[in-house]
Copies of this chain bind each other. A is one copy, B any other.
Amino acid sequence: MAWRAAIIGATGAVGQEFLKVLEERRFPLSSLKLLASARSAGKSLRFAGQDLVVEELSERSFAGVELVLASAGGSISRKFVPAAVAAGAVVVDNTSAFRMVDGVPLVVPEVNPQDIASHKGIIANPNCSTIVMNVPVWPLHQVNPVRRIVVSTYQAVSGAGAWGMWELAEQIKAFAAGQPVEKKKFPHVIVNNVFSHNSAIADNGYNEEENKMVLETRKIFHCPGLLITATCVRVPVMRAHSEAINLQFTRPMSEGRVREILARAAGVRIVDDRKNNVFPMPLDASSQDDILVGRIRQDISQPDGCGIDLFVSGDQVRKGAALNAVQIAERL
Contacts and interface: CB of A to CB of B under 8 A. Distances in A.
Interface of A: 148-150, 152, 154, 168, 172-173, 175-177, 187-189, 191-196, 198, 200-201, 204-207, 214, 227-229, 231, 233, 235-238, 242, 244, 246, 255, 274-279, 281-283, 294-303, 307, 309, 311
19 contacts: A152-B152, A152-B231, A154-B194, A172-B172, A173-B176, A175-B176, A176-B177, A193-B282, A194-B282, A195-B279, A196-B279, A204-B298, A205-B274, A205-B297, A228-B300, A229-B299, A229-B301, A235-B236, A236-B236
A205 B255 contact: yes
A235 B194 contact: yes
Main SS class of interface, A: mixed
Nearest to A191: B172
A170 B61 CA distance: 49
A93 to B, nearest CB: 26
A195 B147 CA distance: 28
B309 A194 contact: no
From A148, A300, A311, residue with most partner B Cβ within 10 Å:
A300
A204 B237 contact: no
A301 B176 contact: no
Nearest to A156: B192
Each complex incorporates copies of this chain amounting to 2
A114 B235 CA distance: 39
Given A206-B300, A229-B309, A283 B193 contact: yes
B282 A204 contact: no
Given A206-B297, A229-B300, A311 B238 contact: no
B303 A227 contact: yes
A301 B228 contact: yes
A311 B281 CA distance: 22
Given A192-B237, A201-B274, 17 more contacts: A150-B150, A152-B244, A154-B194, A187-B277, A192-B282, A193-B237, A194-B281, A194-B282, A198-B277, A201-B277, A205-B309, A227-B302, A231-B244, A233-B242, A235-B235, A244-B244, A246-B246
A279 B307 CA distance: 30
A297 B175 CA distance: 34
A53 to B, nearest CB: 30
A298 B173 CA distance: 40
A98 B69 CA distance: 60
A196 B227 contact: no
B154 A231 contact: no
Chain B CB within 10 Å, residue with most, of A192, A238, A297: A192
B189 A231 contact: no
Contact of A154 (B154, B168, B283): B154
Contacts of A255: 205
For the complex of A and B, the 10 pairs showing the least CB-CB separation, nearest first, are A205-B297, A176-B176, A152-B152, A227-B301, A152-B244, A229-B301, A231-B244, A201-B274, A196-B279, A193-B283
A189 B237 CA distance: 12
A1 B229 CA distance: 52
Contacts of A148: 301
Contacts of A274: 201, 205
